Amino acid sequence: MTDQTKAYDHVIEVKGLKTQFGDFVVHENLDINVRSGEIIGVVGGSGTGKSVLMRAIIGLKRPSAGTVRVFGEDYYKADDKAREAIEQRWGVLFQGGALFSSLTVAQNVMAPIREHLNLSDELAKDIAALKISMSGLPEDAGAKYPSELSGGMKKRAGLARSLALDPEIVFLDEPTAGLDPIGAAKFDELIVNLKESLGLTVFMVTHDLDTLHATCDRVAVLAEKRVIACGPLDEVRKTDHAWIQEYFSGPRGRAALAVKAS
């Protein structure tokens, strides 16, 4: 984590956000802050715009109103050079990995390195190998194509690529979706270890209750087009709201809580 990042209490500040598709409003007057060095999980029912919120923060969905500040900079008012500098300080793992199918895992990880850094191929390959190892993949995975990988390996390859530029923030969109319970638990452990060893800030969209319990410092709940609750999970789950009670106190919520307590 750089000294520049440490200067901010909130590395991400979203205020008064409005997003919409045509006449359909997804978010209205949404506020959320992300603290340096935390893992924050964003949850909500289907259609509440969890992934849309993430895309608005990283510049893939321009909001209709509101501000998005990252590292103290107003992202949407910044010029192209300033936005590029901000983007180089984060990494993104999309659902399914979003790997380039025609490139090997190593080449996928090298892609952002080649685009943004003036490094020799040999050094780029060494960095890619390091990131692949950090993501928990075997050494020979670098030479494989996405079609040769399991679902869990694709997630880890995507994570390796998101770490390519030594980011300070990592955005994860449903990182454990489609994984078996053992694979999901190992991925959760990996995220926590990387956060602690690299000082990462993690913004994670998820619906996985086990992941929330295992990884998150805080949880933000989307409903009614905004964030209706945000805080430590044990506090959020006590919020008197119908969806929150159904989500956290239903059978799966009670099962996840029992696992944490055991």
The phi, psi pair for 243, rounded to 5°, reads: -65, -40
Please name the amino acid found at residue 171. F
- Looking at residue 4, its pLDDT comes to 45
Sequence-distant (6+) residues with CB within 8 A of 56 are 14, 17, 19, 27, 62, 63, 68
29 neighbors 67 (Cβ within 8 angstroms) = no
- Looking at residue 253, its pLDDT comes to 54
- Looking at residue 9, its pLDDT comes to 74
Cα–Cα distance for residue pair 67/30, rounded to 1 Å = 10
- Looking at residue 5, its pLDDT comes to 42
Tens-level pLDDT at each residue, the chain (262 residues) = 444 445 567 999 999 999 999 999 999 999 999 999 999 999 999 999 999 999 999 999 999 999 999 999 999 999 999 999 999 999 999 987 789 999 999 999 999 999 999 899 999 999 999 999 999 999 899 999 999 999 899 999 999 999 999 999 999 999 999 899 999 999 999 999 999 999 999 999 999 999 999 999 999 999 999 999 999 999 999 999 999 999 998 665 555 555 555 5
Cα–Cα distance for residue pair 124/111, rounded to 1 Å = 9
The Cβ-side half-sphere exposure at 257, using a 13 Å CA radius, reads 11
Q: Which of 52, 53, 60, 90 is nearest to 76 (CA)?
A: 60
- Looking at residue 2, its pLDDT comes to 44
In three-state secondary structure terms, 10 is: strand
Cα–Cα distance for residue pair 242/128, rounded to 1 Å = 46
Q: Which of 156, 158, 217 is nearest to 187 (CA)?
A: 156
- Looking at residue 251, its pLDDT comes to 60
